[in-house]
């Protein structure tokens, strides 16, 4: 039986807020829930009746306190995250926002912080990010991909713990390169429960239909 066989999906959003002039990206430190202790863009589940773009707008305001006009919220790609022995895939619609309104603020779920492009904390982010985020920062969108994740075994987890405690001094150095939004100290790397075992990314979408059929349902690049 295929351990990556999927029967349904959840639709999620992820917004990457970028300051092109300063060459900085706004990330949020996830304090709880799925992906806790990792830095990520802002987003979450699309609610019934919402388009992905409407969901992205709502989640950005909830998690970072800022709004983006519809024309400034641009679709960068769609990634399908698949987890071993989990039949529910996460279809994640990724957006860029180069302009925003309002005051960035922390909430109970996310702690926002600006990072220089040269100091993005990839070792404390989902492993797929190091594949597509550099492309997004170069403006090479849109992309479409499948990312396959396996849960770490106990032995692998112990190895990660050892690496993570050895790297805590490196984290302190990273903190000096980033612009802190709040007085909360930079958090050291936490072990990641999953590792990416494989991926497939389409960068040339000429052969991909506008509506990409995934698991029987359809994702549209339109909004
Ligand atoms: C597995 O790989 C992933 N990589 C990246 N970069 N981002 C991911 C991955 N898997 C999920 N995400 C993103 C997609 C969403 O932005 C969040 C998860 O959203 P969450 O489950 O927290 O959704 P909410 O609606 O905010 O959840 P609550 O029920 O807590 O409100 O992570």
Return the domain boundaries, the chain. Answer: 8-220
Note the pTM of the prediction, 2 decimals. Answer: 0.85
**In this predicted complex, what is the ipTM?**
0.97
Closest atom of ligand 1 relative to the 109 alpha carbon: 30
Ligand 1 centre and the CA of 193: distance in Å? 14
Classify 220 as helix, strand or coil: strand
Residue nearest to atom 17 of ligand 1 (CA): 44
Ligand 1 centre and the CA of 56: distance in Å? 11
91 lines ligand 1 (CB under 6 A): no
Is the pLDDT assigned to residue 110 strictly greater than 90?
Answer: yes
List the CATH code of the domain at 8-220: 3.90.79.10
Is the pLDDT assigned to residue 178 strictly greater than 60?
Answer: no
Is the pLDDT assigned to residue 164 strictly greater than 60?
Answer: no
Is the pLDDT assigned to residue 60 strictly greater than 60?
Answer: yes
Q: Which residues are bridge partners to 111 per DSSP?
A: 29
Question: Nearest-CA neighbor of 81 among 128, 145, 147?
Answer: 147
79 lines ligand 1 (CB under 6 A): no
- Distance CA(42)–CA(1), nearest Å, equals 35
Could you tell me if 116 and 178 are in contact, meaning their C-beta atoms sit under 8 angstroms apart?
yes
**What pLDDT does 203 receive?**
85
Buried b (16+ CB within 10 A) or exposed e, 104-137: bebeebbbbbbbeeebbbebbbbbbbebbbebbb
């Amino acid at each position: 039986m295929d351990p990556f066989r999927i029967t349904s999906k959840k639709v999620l959003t992820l917004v990457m807020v970028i300051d092109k002039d300063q060459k900085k990206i706004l990330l949020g430190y996830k304090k709880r829930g799925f992906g806790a202790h990792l830095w990520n863009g802002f987003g979450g589940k699309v609610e019934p009746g919402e388009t992905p773009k409407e969901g992205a707008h709502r989640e950005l305001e909830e998690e970072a306190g800022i709004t983006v006009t519809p024309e400034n919220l641009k679709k960068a790609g769609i990634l399908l995250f698949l987890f071993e022995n989990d039949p529910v895939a996460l279809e994640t619609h990724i957006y860029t926002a180069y302009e925003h309104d309002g005051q960035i603020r922390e909430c109970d779920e996310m702690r926002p912080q600006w990072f220089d492009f040269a100091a993005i904390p990839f070792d404390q982010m989902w492993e797929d990010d190091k594949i597509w985020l550099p492309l997004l920062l170069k403006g090479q969108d849109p992309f479409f991909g499948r990312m396959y994740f396996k849960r770490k075994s106990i032995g692998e987890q112990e190895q990660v713990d050892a690496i993570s405690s050895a790297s805590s001094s490196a984290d302190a150095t990273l903190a000096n390169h980033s612009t802190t939004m709040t007085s909360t100290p930079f958090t050291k790397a936490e072990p990641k429960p999953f590792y990416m075992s494989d991926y497939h990314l389409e960068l040339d979408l000429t052969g991909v239909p506008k509506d990409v059929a995934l698991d029987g349902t359809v994702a549209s690049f339109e909004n």
